[in-house]
Chains A and B, each alone.
Chain A
């Protein structure tokens, strides 16, 4: 009896081992199946699914939510059995995948003139070394948000000096005039750009010790003095949601929870930096569809149809209505509902100055180096110039280590 039980357990173990290695069955009745990996919220996925169901029965599109999508693509991106045909993600990783050789340019499937109808910023984001690798659908960028209970619409600071004055007057007794994630690269980039500085340029050259970046970090420091020392996501957003912070810079993803908290939310253009006359210019993330090389040849025609289906205005408008994201296609803003949406239009306005997150592979090391620099300056009180020079050297070392 024991022996039979042991044999049964061995069989179970071996079977489960090999079941994990099996492949899903292919449909072979002429229907082409396109698998798209994504990591988006349900509302966005539902809009895409509805739109792509119009291609049935010839093309069946399976949208698969994938946690850890970026790492999974690194592992199986060139494996025809395991890789998806396409994936839906932000543009900032496309340089890595293009260098790895797993991405096919979008221009192999759709006419470049079709992309002229898109916001230039989104096409810039989708381009790496002269090739367009993404069909942009929508973008996100940071917004200046304020609590109308404390800040009246006509009193919203238009310049950074007005903002500083407001912070000085109102930061007292556990209340803050303005909070932001002051020591993270993504949030500080807006200040750096307003001074003409940059974290890394298109050529992969870090700009942490440029005089513009140093000037921005020096200037930004005085604002940090009136913010909580811990500037991480949870603290900053909780302060704003609990009405302890009068204004903040945050992403559109915060808006639903802020409204749920009962905050009377106002959105305004980014303040203009007095010293340079330029508005704070945050990074933008452009979300869109990428095609993998493993599918480019064998499913070429089906991919063309999928991409064409998503170049219509309907999908951009539907996503904007469903989740408040700003469409990448210019004509979507002619829709009356989109034009009325304050959040979408605020992002559209910010997009005029926004800088697409660098999509070059070197950016991967810059997040940590820049954040360490900001922590040294804002939280540990180290000298700006010295810290910037040290960070620049570190960035160059790490970039050299990538190759």
Chain B
């Protein structure tokens, strides 16, 4: 009993620095944002701010106007489309990588992981100027070669949504491929042999054996990806909304919308209230996703 208590104490002691670190860099900023959201901290009351109750929350609800509703719907659509495409493409590619006696598997794997090695900011701007730019972009050069008219790929909401999705897939697929690939490798090969002996074809093996086997393994990464896709900022902002380089599309996620309508005001109390409301939305969305995934198990 004494030994057990000693071991528990030792475990807490060794993990204490990490827990303190997490408290400092994760929990404290959230709590502090919550505190600031109840104050009038802005340019005019930077250091002498005071408690103003729920005033900022009342004002924050004005940000959630029809524009915000559109951005929220776009964000949900964005998350669903990206998640579905990521899962399907990652599954297909990982399945191809797991074909027996597949040559150069490691080379392909490395190539597929390559986008992950590049900083997201660089990748996004490379796509913007290298692919989608109407003057110099590769897409319009191909269009020109084919005798077609040059397009403004990021100018309308629909085309910008498609372009942003392509870039997001490029950035996010390596992670999902790696997870699905690992999950596929963990499936017992003898199960496949039995299935083949029972006369199951590829589709049946996939539906009744592969997917149920890998589901518990990929579920956490799906939750993580849903979370990161829902709160996406950089892809949409850098491709379409960057100050000095706007493209004409009015595509917004809730974060880019909140940035343009609250964060630019330098009103930290007000912006914090908006952040906390979005934070609550994200938590709710994540809980919903987890519940759905559990129900599906």
**Given A380-B248, A402-B266, do A367 and B243 touch, yes or no (CB 8 Å)?**
yes
Assembly CA distance A402 to B264 (angstroms): 9
> B246 near A371 (CB under 8 angstroms)?
yes
Interface contact B17-A234, CB-CB below 8 Å: no
Contact yes or no, B21 A232, CB < 8 A: no
Judge whether B133 is part of the interface by a CB distance below 8 angstroms.
Answer: yes
- Please tell me if the beta carbons of B264 and A364 are within 8 angstroms of each other in the complex: yes
Q: Are A402 and B265 in contact (CB under 8 A)?
A: yes
Q: Which one, B17, B134, B260, B265, contacts A14 given CB within 8 A?
A: B17
How many chain B residues have a CB neighbour from A under 8 Å? 33
Q: How far is the CA of A361 from the CA of B43 in the complex (A)?
A: 8
- Which A residues from 215 to 255 make CB contacts under 8 A with B? 228-230, 232-235, 238-239
B155 touches A379 (CB 8 A): yes
**Which one of A14, A99, A232, A367 lies within 8 Å of B245 (CB-CB)?**
A232
Which of A96, A235, A375, A401 is in CB contact (< 8 Å) with B133?
A235
Q: In the bound complex, what is the Cα–Cα distance between A13 and B260 (angstroms)? A: 39
The answer to whether A401 touches B262 (Cβ under 8 A) is: yes
Complex interface: chain B residues within 8 A of A13 (CB)? 17-18, 21
How many whole Å from A86's CB to the nearest CB in chain B?
19
CB contact between B17 and one of A10, A78, A361, A380 (< 8 Å): that residue? A10
User: B267 contacts which chain A residues (CB < 8 A)?
Assistant: 401-403
Contact A6 B136 (CB under 8 A): no
Q: Give Cα A184 to B247, complex, Å.
A: 11
- In the complex, what residue of chain A is closest to B150 when comparing beta carbons? A229
CB-based contact A100/B43 at 8 Å:
yes
- Asked if B270 contacts A230 (CB within 8 A), the reply is no
| Chain B residues with CB under 8 A of A234 | 129, 133, 245
Cβ of A382 to closest chain B Cβ, rounded Å: 10
Task: Say whether chain B's binding surface is mostly helix, strand, loop, or mixed.
Answer: loop
Find out whether the CB atom of A78 lies under 8 angstroms from the CB atom of B47: yes
A78→B49 CA distance, assembly (Å): 14
Residues on the A chain within 8 Å of B21, using CB = 13, 17
Beta-carbon nearest neighbor of B65 in chain A: A397
Partner of B135, one of A10, A233, A239, A398: A239
Given A14-B17, A371-B243, A379-B248, residue A96 in contact with residue B135 (CB < 8 A)? no
Interface status of A353 (Cβ within 8 A of chain B): no
- Judge whether A181 and B136 touch: CB under 8 Å: no
Q: Which residues of A contact B264 (CB under 8 A)?
A: 364-365, 367-368, 398
- Determine whether the beta carbon of B43 is less than 8 Å from that of A184: no
The reply to whether A365 and B43 form a contact with Cβ atoms under 8 Å apart is no
Judge whether A230 and B14 touch: CB under 8 Å. Answer: no
Evaluate whether A230 and B265 lie within 8 angstroms (CB atoms) in the complex, with A13-B21, A99-B43, A372-B246 already known. Answer: no
Question: Chain B residues with Cβ under 8 A from A183's Cβ?
Answer: 246
Asked if A375 and B17 sit within 8 Å, CB to CB, the answer is no
Could you tell me the distance in whole angstroms from the C-beta of A289 to the nearest C-beta in chain B?
A: 22
Q: Which of A75-112 contact B (CB under 8 A)?
A: 78, 96, 99-102
| A6/B44 in contact, CB under 8 A | no
Closest partner residue, chain B, to A99 (CB atom): B43
The chain B residue sitting closest to A77, CB to CB, is B46
The answer on a CB contact under 8 Å between A99 and B44 is yes
Question: A233-B244, A375-B246 given as contacts; is B260 within 8 A of A364 (CB)?
Answer: no
B33 at the interface (CB under 8 A from A): no
A181 CA / B242 CA spacing, docked (Å): 14
Which residues of the other chain, B, contact A181 by a CB distance below 8 angstroms? 244
Q: Are B42 and A402 neighbours in the complex by a CB distance under 8 Å?
A: yes
Report B1-36 CB contacts with A as 1/0, cut-off 8 Å: 000000000000010111011000000000000000
Residues from chain A with a CB closer than 8 A to the CB of B215 are none
Among A74, A101, A229, A365, the residue within 8 A (CB) of B134 is A229
Query: Which B residues are in CB contact (< 8 Å) with A14?
Result: 17
Which residues from B are CB-within-8-Å of A239? 135
CA distance A144 to B270 in the complex (A): 42
CB of A379 within 8 A of CB of B42, answer no
Cα A401 to Cα B260 in complex, Å, equals: 12
Instruction: Assess whether B247 is in contact with A402, with CB atoms less than 8 Å apart.
Output: no
Q: In the complex, which residues of chain A have a beta carbon less than 8 angstroms from the beta carbon of B17? A: 10, 13-14, 17
A residues in contact with B155, CB < 8 Å: 229, 379-380
Q: A102 to B43: give the CA distance in the assembly, Å.
A: 11
A401 touches B44 (CB 8 A): no
- B129 cross-chain contacts in A, Cβ below 8 A: 234-235
Rounded to whole Å, the gap between the CB of B111 and the closest CB of chain A is 28
Chain A 169-201 interface 0/1 with B at a Cβ cutoff of 8 Å (1 = within) = 000000000000101101000000000000000
| B244:A96 contact, CB within 8 angstroms | no
A366 to chain B: closest residue by CB: B264
Shortest CB distance A298–B (Å)? 18
B123: Cβ under 8 A from any A Cβ: no
Known contacts A13-B21, A365-B264, A402-B267; A232/B44 CB under 8 A: no
Return the 8 tightest CB-CB contacts between A and B, nearest first. Answer: A379-B248, A232-B245, A100-B46, A401-B265, A402-B265, A13-B17, A375-B246, A361-B43
Binding site for B on A (CB under 8 A): 6, 10, 13-14, 17, 74, 78, 96, 99-102, 181, 183-184, 186, 228-230, 232-235, 238-239, 361, 364-365, 367-368, 371-372, 375, 379-380, 398, 401-403
Pairs A–B under 8 Å by Cβ, sample size 29? A10-B14, A13-B18, A13-B21, A17-B20, A100-B47, A102-B46, A181-B244, A186-B244, A228-B135, A229-B248, A230-B133, A235-B133, A238-B135, A364-B264, A367-B264, A368-B260, A371-B244, A372-B260, A379-B247, A380-B248, A398-B261, A401-B262, A401-B265, A401-B267, A401-B270, A402-B42, A402-B265, A403-B44, A403-B267
Task: Give 16 A-B pairs besides A229-B152, A402-B44 with Cβ atoms closer than 8 angstroms.
Answer: A13-B21, A101-B46, A183-B246, A228-B134, A230-B152, A235-B133, A235-B134, A239-B135, A367-B264, A375-B246, A380-B155, A380-B248, A398-B261, A398-B265, A402-B42, A402-B43
